[in-house]
Chain A
Amino acid sequence: MPIYELGYRHWEGELCNPLHRMWAITRTGIALGFRSKMLLRLLIFAWMPLLYFAPLFFAIGYATDPERAAAGDNVWTQFVQGFLGSEIANRLLQDPESVRRAAWAIAFHYFFSYTQAWLTMLVVAIIGPPLIAQDVRRKAFLLYFSRPITRWEYLGGKASVMLFFVFVVTLFPAIVLYAISIAFSPSLSALFQTGTTIFQIVAVAAVIAIPATLVVLSLSSLTEDSRYATFGWISLWLVGEVSYRILSNIPQLADHRWIFLLSVRKTTSVLIEAIFDVVRQIRALGRSDAVNRVLEQVQTPYPPWLGLVFLTALSLVCLCVVFRRISKPMRI
């Protein structure tokens, strides 16, 4: 026996559980994703809306505090007037706690439906397309599936990469925003009043992330060249958005309930509105011009259930496509 041999040595040790294998795919995918400088810049940019929303929540926290309102501390009320208008601000003085819930619902609705929705689209366009397309191109399936992992674990690992990056621009900043709001609220009543918000944030992040992940992974699995998948994803978004805006402005079609399904952003937005129960929260403020203006912006004639059914069906179809595609190389 040699005392030293730079050769093949057998190994016998304890193996990790199957979740570790899926985690290895996710971790490697995330590490590769962070190599993109464009993505890093975008992620930093994606947190910028916090600079706008955090002071707003902070101000709402102070303005809606009953003790401060009773003491006539109206500095923050004036600040909130800038965001919500004078009528709502006046209402704030009369019944501060009822306004808080509505204000939070509106603010989170805007945060998810507008700023983060577009940033999500860009993040997905950078991260998603190469995830499976590069494995198809480089025939990596044979390396993966000759290992003790299943197709579901592979798909789970890849989907987790995408979900992570979508959550970085949706869930994580929203949670930080919520934590800031609670931390800077002058009393604990804010926590009790808005206890369900954290669950609503998670639900909204899931509504944005899951369909986006499955759609982009299915596009990625359909091609060897990730540029086509990127093009497909952006086209789906932009063409859908433009089509929706054009069709919704045609009077004959404006009443058709399915029009919003053309736009991924609008469909998601309708669901976000339903999850935060924005319309009911605003109506609870009573009738005024300011309330009506906000209501006009938020309220849509589109049924959320239709959006949910559509996104669920789209996700399932994409799941079938991607699963079939990753099984295909094995059939040769």
Chain B
Amino acid sequence: MIFRLERVTKLYDGIKALDDITIEVRPGAIGLLGPNGAGKSTLIKCLLGLVQITAGRVSVLDLDARRDSRRIRQQVGYMPEDDCTIAGLGGVQAVAYMGQLSGLPARTALRRAHEMLDYVGIADERYREVQTYSTGMKQKMKFAQALIHAPKVLFLDEPTTGLDPQGRDRMLRLIRNLPEKKGLSVIISTHILQDVEACCDSVIILGRGRLLVYDTLRRLRRSVNETYTVRYTGDRAAFMKALVDSGCAAQPAGEDEITVVREGDATPSAVFKSALISGAVVRQISPSRTSLEDIFLKALRG
């Protein structure tokens, strides 16, 4: 278990940023999705113990967030969304400084800082002042500082913001590498659904402070895969009537397409039988491929 929320509510001036959330999140790579104001950043700050919750209980790595927030922050890494830097420090100094703040001895922190900057791909620029870095380099540096103290869990807030396509691919590869090969759990808060699809095996969707969805991507997709898209030629009304008569829920999709939701025995064979009855010709039948966007939009619509 990475973290557990029990009936957690967080109010800001009477507005519910988190509304009665109960969830237990398993290790792995988890995408945290939600529109603006959904409560993603508040959730991360609650987990880090940076803000006090109004009601409920938060535990991270089996530690109580209220009582043991220092121990939690020792074991988690956080990459903020904002353009955060320490003024006047060079890249390697800044990362080493963050290591020291996490309790690493000065020499170890410097060695780890070099290792982490190698990992994220900052070369000689590490000796330049951080203020002179491009947005992409700042993102990499924030990623390096989140890793320097060898955390068990990594919270990444919009990790690919401001990166060019090549930089984004590289960043996603680095992120993906951590849970797959190094056993770290990664929680990615983002608006970019493709990033979650590329890196994560589970997804949490928040909307207006409420938990809408928490499940593995595989299961979420499978539940929607029971929908088929049928391309045909023939009389639409007759074909649809035949489908409904055979126990399928059918809806017109495109010009020559019908979406068929399987209910009971509404298998592809039922579609062929209906076509035979109605005189339509089935040109193609395929399981509807539902993207994360569909899942996301469906969750938000409720």
List residues of chain A with CB under 8 Å of any chain B CB. Answer: 6-13, 15-18, 20-21, 24-25, 28, 32, 35, 130, 134-135, 137-140, 142-150, 330-331
Contact = CB atoms under 8 A, between A and B. Distances in A.
A17 B101 CA distance: 10
A330 B102 contact: no
5 contacts: A8-B119, A20-B103, A32-B89, A139-B82, A149-B101
B103 A25 contact: no
A146 B119 contact: no
B40 to A, nearest CB: 13
Interface size class of B (residues with CB under 8 A): 35 or more
A135 B101 CA distance: 15
Nearest to B142: A143
B83 interface: yes
A7 B170 CA distance: 13
A202 B98 CA distance: 33
A35 B70 CA distance: 32
A145 B45 CA distance: 10
Contacts of B174: 8
B112 interface: yes
Contact of B104 (A16, A28, A138): A16
B84 A16 contact: no
Interface string B103-129: 111101000100110110000000000
B87 A134 contact: yes
A144 B78 contact: no
A144 B101 contact: yes
A135 B97 CA distance: 14
Contacts of A15: 74, 102-104
Q: Which applies to chain B's interface (DSSP): helix, strand, loop or mixed?
A: helix
Given A15-B104, A144-B101, A146-B73, A35 B88 contact: yes
Nearest to B178: A8
Contacts of A6: 118-119
B277 interface: no
A142 B178 contact: no
Interface string B238-253: 0000000000000000
A57 B93 CA distance: 45
B51 interface: yes
Contacts of B192: none
Nearest to A142: B80
A142 B108 CA distance: 23
Contact of B86 (A8, A35, A143, A150): A143
The interface centre, meaning the residue of B87, B147, B174 with most chain A CB atoms within 10 A of its CB, is B87
B84 A142 contact: yes
B12 A28 contact: no
B224 to A, nearest CB: 35
Contact of A8 (B78, B103, B147): B147
The interface centre, meaning the residue of A8, A12, A13 with most chain B CB atoms within 10 A of its CB, is A8
A90 B104 CA distance: 64
B162 to A, nearest CB: 15
A130 B80 CA distance: 22
Given A147-B73, A150-B70, 6 more contacts: A9-B115, A11-B112, A11-B150, A32-B87, A143-B84, A149-B70
B177 interface: yes
A10 B200 CA distance: 21
B126 to A, nearest CB: 14
B283 interface: no
A28 B89 contact: yes
Contacts of B30: none
A12 B102 contact: no
Interface string B48-88: 10110000000000000000001101101010101111111
A16 B107 CA distance: 12
